[in-house]
Amino acid sequence: MMAKLGVSALVLLFLGGLWLVAAPFAVGYQARGATYVDATVNDLWLGGSIAAISFVSLVIYAADALRELARRGKHSDV
């Protein structure tokens, strides 16, 4: 149960980070072709960092889960 909650939180963080990266352009406070305003730079750095950290955490969690499944498979009596 706790693992599902943790994975759900990481997925939500990842999606939130992606939204922060896309928001300046989707909402329209960054004009197309103009020099990036400070809010856009902040959203890009913060959103990219949040998305990257949560994605790396999801990959580490998946690798650990696969390692655990492989370990359990080696000891089963078939």
Q: What confidence tens digit (pLDDT) does each residue in 22-31 have?
A: 999 899 888 8
Please give the Cα distance from 76 to 53 (Å, whole number).
35
Longest CA span, the chain: 65
Query: Does 77 have pLDDT greater than 60?
Result: no
Query: What is the token pair recorded at 40?
Result: 């856009």
| Predicted confidence (pLDDT) per residue in 26-72, tens digit | 998 888 888 999 999 999 999 999 999 999 999 999 898 888 888 88
pLDDT surpasses 80 at 74: no
- In 3D space, the residue among 17, 6, 16 whose CA is nearest the CA of residue 58 turns out to be 6
15 has pLDDT over 60: yes
